C-alpha cells in the first residue's frame, strides 16, 4: 500500500503478512489456502471498520495526501478540448490557479481550480496551491468571460488558503478575494463548485460562491485550517487534530448544516486509491446538477444562488419558548423572535441574548432599521458619541428595550437610556446585571 498514513499501519502490516505467506506457499509448494482466506477476511473486516469510522483529523490527512488527484488530474479525466488560459491582464500569471475553456459532454464550459504541485519543485512554483491576488484576478477574468458568452462555470477547490506573505498583501489580497465573492454572487450563468481536497479560508471561498457546492467524501471545508485555528486558540499548532474535531469541517458535517448539496463517495482509503473511478463519480455529479441549473433563466440562477447563501445558518435564542430557526428573509424578523407589544421591527433583543441580531448584516442593537424594517423614529440610531441602547449607571446592558420602548432607547418617563419595561426601573437592575455578567 503506497503512501500509507499513520492510522493505516495496521492494514499495511496485515497486507504484508498476507503477501509474505502467499509468496512462501508458492515458493515451497505448500497449501495455505485456508489460512490465506482467513487472513483476507480479517483484512476486509479491519478495512471496513477503519474507513467507516474515520475521524475529522484522519479525513484531514486523507484530504492532504500528496498522491490525491489535483485539479488538472480531474480536468484531464472529466473534460475534453481543454484550453488553458493564463494571466490576470494586470500583473502576472499565478500557477496556483489554473483555468480555461473545455467541454463537458459536448457543452462548452469554463473550468477553474486551485492547483497543488506534484513534487517539491512543482509545489514551490505553485506556492503549494495558495494563490496570490493575481491568481484570484485571473479566475475573476475567466468567470467574467464565461458570463459574457453564457458558459457554465465549474470550479475545483483545493487549497489551505490564500498566500499569506507580505507580497500578496501589498498587491491587495483581501480586495481580490472580496471582489471574487461579490462578482460570483451576481453572475448570470450556472456555477458548480467541487471541493476535491482541502478547502481553507478565503482562498477557497474566492472560488466557492456557486449555485451548487459538492464535496468529495474525505474532503474538508473550513473558514481556517485546523493548524491555524489551533495556533490562534491555543498557541499550539500541534493541537490541529483537536481543532479539526471541534470545527465540524467534514463533508458529512457540512451537508447536515446545509452548506453543501451533495457528498461524492470515494473508494476506501481515499481518491488516490482509484483516481479514474473518483473522476467518473465527480463527472456524473457535476453533469446532473448542471443539467438542472441550465434549465433556469439568468434571473433564476442569481436568485437561486442568493437563496442558497441566505438560508445558511440558524438563529438561536435564550428567550423562553423561542425555537431555533433559519436565517430570516430580508426585511423580516428572525425566526423564533416574536414582536412584543410596542416594539418596532429591528428592536434589540433582551439582555444576554446576543445570538439574535436585528435584520441587516452587521446590525448592532438599536441601529437604524434597514430597508423593509419599521421607519420613523423607532429604532433610530443613537447620536454621535452614544452607544446603541446605552446602559444606565446602574449596570443595564446595551440595547435592553422592552415593551413600550423604541429600539435603541427608552421612551417612557423615568426610563434610563437603553430602556426598561414601560419606563419602570424598580426590581430590574439586579436581574439585568446578572444577565450581563
Block residue for cell numbers 464535496: 215
How far, in Å, CA of 437 to CA of 352, rounded? Answer: 8
The confidence band for 2, taking pLDDT boundaries of 50, 70 and 90, is: low
More confident residue, 25 or 248: 248
How do 191-200 and 153-159 pair as beta strands?
Answer: parallel
Going from the C-alpha of 406 to that of each of 23, 287, 306, 347, 348, the distances in angstroms are 84, 52, 31, 7, 9
For the question of whether the overall pTM of this predicted structure is more than 0.85, the answer is no
Tens of pLDDT, residue by residue over 22-80, are 888 888 888 888 888 889 898 888 888 889 889 999 999 999 999 999 999 999 999 99
The per-residue pLDDT for 322 is 52
The whole-number pLDDT of residue 52 equals 87
pLDDT for the residue 313? 82
What pLDDT score does 22 carry?
A: 86
Q: CA–CA separation, 364 vs 361, rounded Å?
A: 9
Residue 35, pLDDT score: 86
CA separation for the pair 337, 317 (Å, rounded): 8
**Per-residue pLDDT at 19:** 87
What percent of the chain is modeled with pLDDT above 90? 56
| CA trace torsion 63, 64, 67, 73 (10° rounding) | 70
Most confident of 26-35, 220-229, 291-300, 335-344: 291-300
Span of 199-203, 311-315, 402-406, 429-433 with lowest mean pLDDT? 402-406
Check pLDDT > 70 for residue 218: yes
pLDDT tens, position by position, 403-435: 333 333 433 333 333 333 444 444 444 444 444
Q: Are 153 and 183 in contact (CB under 8 A)?
A: no
Residue 122 CA to residue 129 CA, distance in Å, equals: 10
- Dihedral (Cα; 356, 362, 365, 368), 10-degree rounding: -130
Q: Give percent of the chain with pLDDT exceeding 70.
A: 72
Helix axis angle for 71-78 and 275-294, nearest 10°, is 70
The three three-digit cell numbers of residue 131, written as one number? 494563490
97-111, 231-245, 262-276, 308-322: segment of lowest average pLDDT: 308-322
Q: What is the pLDDT of residues 125-171, one digit of tens each?
A: 999 999 999 999 999 999 999 999 999 999 999 999 999 999 999 99
The mean pLDDT value of the chain amounts to 79
Q: What is the pLDDT of residue 374?
A: 39
Q: What is the pLDDT of residue 281?
A: 96
Query: Tens digit of pLDDT for each residue in 375-402?
Result: 343 344 444 444 333 333 344 443 433 3
pLDDT of 318 reads 72
Identify the weakest region by mean pLDDT among 84-98, 171-185, 242-256, 397-411: 397-411
Note the pLDDT tens digit of each residue in 326-366: 444 443 333 333 333 343 333 344 444 444 333 344 443 33
389, 365 contact by CB (below 8 A): yes
Half-sphere exposure for 399 (CA within 13 Å, toward CB): 22
Of the pLDDT bands very low, low, confident and very high (cuts 50, 70, 90), residue 176 is very high
Closest CA to 242 of 64, 62, 55: 55
Nearest residue to 193 (alpha-carbon basis) of 314, 107, 68, 289: 289
Rounded to an integer, what distance in angstroms lies between the CA atom of residue 183 and that of residue 173?
16
Amino acid at each position: 500500500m503506497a503512501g500509507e498514513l499513520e492510522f493505516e499501519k495496521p492494514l499495511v502490516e496485515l497486507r504484508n503478512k498476507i503477501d509474505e505467506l502467499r509468496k512462501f506457499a508458492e515458493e515451497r509448494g505448500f497449501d495455505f489456502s485456508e489460512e490465506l482466506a482467513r487472513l483476507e477476511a480479517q483484512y476486509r473486516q479491519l478495512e471496513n471498520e477503519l474507513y467507516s469510522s474515520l475521524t475529522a483529523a484522519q479525513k484531514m490527512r486523507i484530504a492532504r495526501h500528496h498522491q490525491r488527484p489535483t485539479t488538472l488530474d480531474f480536468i484531464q479525466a472529466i473534460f475534453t478540448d481543454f484550453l488553458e488560459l493564463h494571466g490576470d491582464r494586470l500583473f502576472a500569471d499565478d500557477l496556483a490557479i489554473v483555468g480555461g475553456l473545455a467541454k463537458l459532454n459536448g457543452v462548452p464550459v469554463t473550468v477553474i481550480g486551485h492547483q497543488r504541485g506534484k513534487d517539491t519543485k512543482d509545489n514551490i512554483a505553485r506556492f503549494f496551491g495558495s494563490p496570490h491576488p493575481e491568481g484570484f484576478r485571473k479566475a475573476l477574468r475567466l468567470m467574467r468571460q464565461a458570463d459574457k458568452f453564457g458558459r457554465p462555470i465549474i470550479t475545483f477547490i483545493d487549497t489551505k488558503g490564500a498566500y499569506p506573505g507580505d507580497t500578496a498583501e501589498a498587491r491587495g489580497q483581501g480586495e481580490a478575494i472580496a471582489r471574487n465573492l461579490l462578482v460570483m454572487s451576481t453572475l448570470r450563468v450556472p456555477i458548480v463548485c467541487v471541493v476535491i481536497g482541502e478547502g481553507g479560508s478565503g482562498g477557497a471561498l474566492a472560488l466557492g460562491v456557486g449555485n451548487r457546492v459538492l464535496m468529495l467524501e474525505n474532503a474538508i471545508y473550513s473558514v481556517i485550517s485546523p493548524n491555524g485555528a489551533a495556533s490562534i486558540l491555543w498557541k499550539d499548532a500541534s493541537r490541529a487534530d483537536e481543532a479539526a474535531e471541534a470545527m465540524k469541517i467534514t463533508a458529512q458535517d457540512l451537508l447536515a448544516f446545509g452548506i453543501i448539496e451533495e457528498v461524492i463517495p470515494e473508494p476506501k482509503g481515499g481518491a488516490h486509491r482509484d483516481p479514474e473511478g473518483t473522476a467518473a463519480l465527480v463527472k456524473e455529479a457535476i453533469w446532473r446538477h448542471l443539467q438542472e441549473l441550465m434549465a433556469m433563466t439568468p434571473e433564476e440562477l442569481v436568485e437561486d444562488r442568493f437563496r442558497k447563501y441566505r438560508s445558511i445558518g440558524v438563529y438561536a435564542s435564550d428567550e423562553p419558548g423561542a425555537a431555533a430557526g433559519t436565517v430570516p428573509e430580508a426585511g423580516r424578523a428572525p425566526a423564533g423572535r416574536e414582536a412584543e407589544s410596542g416594539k418596532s421591527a429591528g428592536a434589540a433583543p433582551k439582555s444576554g441574548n446576543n445570538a439574535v441580531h436585528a435584520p441587516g448584516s452587521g446590525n448592532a442593537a438599536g441601529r437604524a432599521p434597514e430597508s423593509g424594517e419599521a421607519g420613523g423614529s423607532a429604532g433610530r440610531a443613537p447620536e454621535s458619541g452614544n452607544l446603541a441602547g446605552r446602559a444606565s449607571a446602574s449596570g443595564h446592558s446595551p440595547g435592553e428595550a422592552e415593551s413600550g420602548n423604541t429600539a435603541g432607547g427608552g421612551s417612557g418617563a423615568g426610563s434610563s437610556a437603553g430602556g426598561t419595561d414601560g419606563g419602570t426601573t424598580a426590581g430590574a437592575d439586579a436581574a439585568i446585571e446578572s444577565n450581563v455578567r
